[in-house]
A and B are shown apart, each in its own frame.
Chain A
Amino acid sequence: MKNEPLATILLAEDDDGHARLLERGLEAAGVRNPLIRFRTGMEAWNYIFGKSDPCIEPGRPYLLLLDIRLPLMSGIDLLRRVRGDLRYRYIPTAMLTTTDDPKEIQRCRDLGCDNFFIKPIDAARLAALFGLPRARKMKGPRKIPGSA
C-alpha cells in the first residue's frame, strides 16, 4: 500500500489565480500529490492523449480537474472525449466552475463527471471526496509558535 504511487493531479485551468489558489489550498490541506497544470483545453488533451512530451504514462494513477470554460477546448468537450475513450474513461474527474448553473451541472453529470466544485474551491473537501492521502501537519493560522 505504502508503495503505491500518488495519483498525479492534472489541472486544466486558464486563470493563473484560480490555479494558484487551488495549488495552495491543496498544499495547506496536506495533499502531497504531484500536480501538472494546463492553460488550455487543447494542452490538457494533448497530454492525456499522448500527443505531447511528456505525456500520460499508462498504468499510473491520475486525477483530472477540469475548468468548464477553457480556451481552445472547453472542459465539457474534454470530459466528453475522456469518457468516450476506453483507456481513460475511468480516470476520476471533477469539473470546476465559477457558477452553480443547474443546466451546466446536469450536462456534466450526464457526461459522467464524478464531482463538481464551485469556486472558490474547498481544497480539503476535494481531497476528502477523492480520498487523497493527507499529511497530518497542516499549514495554517492555528499553528502555535514554537510548537514544531
Chain B
Amino acid sequence: MVKTGKGKKKREGAPRGSLRADALRDSELRYRRLFEAAQDGILILDAATGEIEDANPFIVELLGFSHGQLAGKKLWEIGAFRDVFANKEKFRELQERGYVRYEGLPLVAADGRRLFVEFVSNVYDVNRLKVIQCNIRDNTARMQAEAEKERLNAELRHKNAEIEGFLHITTHDLRTPLVNIQGFSKNLAIDLGELHALVEGAELAAEVKNRALKLLTTDLPESLGYIEGSVVKMGMLITALLKVSRLGRQELTAATVNMDSALKSALATFAYRLEKLGGEVKLQPLPLCSADPLAVSQIFSNLLDNAIKYRDRTRKLEITVRGEAKGTRTVIYTVADNGRGIKEADLERIWEVFYSGHAHDPEIVKGEGIGLTVARRMAERSGGSLKAESREGAGTKFILELPARPV
C-alpha cells in the first residue's frame, strides 16, 4: 500500500451527512486507483520545498527506487534526477512556470539504466498549499528505436554513396581500354584497306595473292566486324552504368511541381510516336507534389516510354494517368497501360540494371535497360517510391508516390 505523504487528502470532512461522506470517499478512491494504475509515472511534490510527497507504483517500477526511498526526499536528492535538477534552476522553473514539459529528459535508474522520459509538470493548489504534479512517460524504447533508425539511415546513405562512387570510377576505368580497342580496330580497318589496295596492285604468285585477298576481304574484316560490334555494345553498357552512377551525384531540388504541365511536356515528346501507332493517353487532373521538376518529368518519360515499348500490338494502346492525395503528406500517381504485362516472376527483376523484358522478341527495340532503374532511383531520391502491379497479357500499372506539397 502506498502511503500518502502528509495525508491531507485523507482528512475527512465533518460527517454531517453520511451520503456526502460516501460520495467523497468514492471519489477519492477513484482518483487513488487512477494514480495507482496509471501507466505513466506520477510524482507529487511539495512546491515550496521540492520534497516528494507521493510516488505511484509505475514510477517506483520504472526507476527501481522503493517508495520509501522516494517519499520525503527532495527531488535532487534522488539519484535518478540528480543530474537534471542538481543546480535547482530546473526546479525553480517548475515552481514558477506552473507548466513545464521536457522531451527526452535523461534519467538514471537505480541499477544504472539510462532512461529517456517525457516529463510534464503542473502546479496546483491543494488546501492552499502548492503542489507540483509530475507525469513521467518512459520513451526510452522509442528514442532508442529512433536513434537506431537514424544510424541505419546514415549507414545506408554512406553505403549508397560508396557504391555510386565505385560505379563512377569503375565505368571511367572501363572506358580507358575500350577507347583503345575502338581506336585501334578503326586503325586496323584503315590499314587493311591500304594493304588490300597494295596486294591487289602487286605482282605475286597467284596462289599467294588469292589467299591474301581472301584474308583481306573476308576473314580479317569479319573478325574486325565482331570486335567493333562488341565494342559498341560494351560502350553502350558502360554509358548506361555511368548514367546510373551519376544519378546519385545529381543534386535534386524540392519545388512544387505542377504535375499537369509536367506530364504534358513529357507527353509532347511522345506525341509523334503515339499518333503513328494510334495510341491514346487518358489524362486526369493531377494533384501537386513536392519534388524535383526535372526528376519528375524524367520518371514519367521513362514510364510512358515503357508503356509504348511493351504495348500489345493486337489492341489499341491505352495509357491512363491518374493522381490523388493519400493523407496529407503523400500523393500517389498511377500510370496504367493495357500492354503485354509482366510475369509475376519477373516483377521484381524489372528494376534491375540492364534487365530488359521480352529480350528475344524482335518487335521490341532494345534500349539501354536502365529506364525503370533510373525512374525508381529518382522517385526514392525525391523521398517517394515507385512500384509496379501487373497481369501478364492484361497490362501494367506503375504506382508513384511522392511527398505532397507542404501546406
Contact = CB atoms under 8 A, between A and B. Distances in A.
A24 B176 contact: no
Contacts of A17: 177, 179-180, 183-184
Interface string B172-191: 10011101101110110110
Contact of A99 (B192, B193, B242): B242
A12 B175 CA distance: 18
Nearest to B251: A103
B198 A99 contact: no
Contacts of B197: 141, 143-145
Given A101-B246, A119-B179, A141 B189 contact: yes
Interface residues of A, number: 22
A12 B194 CA distance: 31
B249 interface: yes
Interface in B10-55: none
A98 interface: yes
Contacts of A18: 176, 179-180, 183
B200 interface: yes
A53 to B, nearest CB: 31
A28 interface: yes
Given A21-B179, A120-B183, A145-B200, A98 B172 contact: yes
Contacts of A141: 189-190, 192-194, 197
B171 interface: yes
Contacts of A145: 197-198, 200-201
A34 interface: no
A21 B187 CA distance: 8
Contacts of B246: 101
A98 to B, nearest CB: 4
Interface in B246-291: 246, 249
Interface of B: 171-172, 175-177, 179-180, 182-184, 186-187, 189-190, 192-194, 197-198, 200-201, 242, 246, 249
Given A18-B183, A120-B183, A142-B193, 20 more contacts: A17-B180, A18-B179, A18-B180, A21-B179, A21-B183, A25-B183, A28-B190, A98-B175, A98-B176, A99-B172, A99-B175, A119-B175, A120-B186, A139-B194, A141-B189, A141-B194, A141-B197, A143-B197, A145-B201, A146-B201
14 contacts: A17-B179, A17-B180, A18-B176, A24-B187, A98-B172, A99-B172, A119-B175, A119-B179, A120-B179, A120-B183, A140-B194, A141-B192, A143-B197, A145-B197
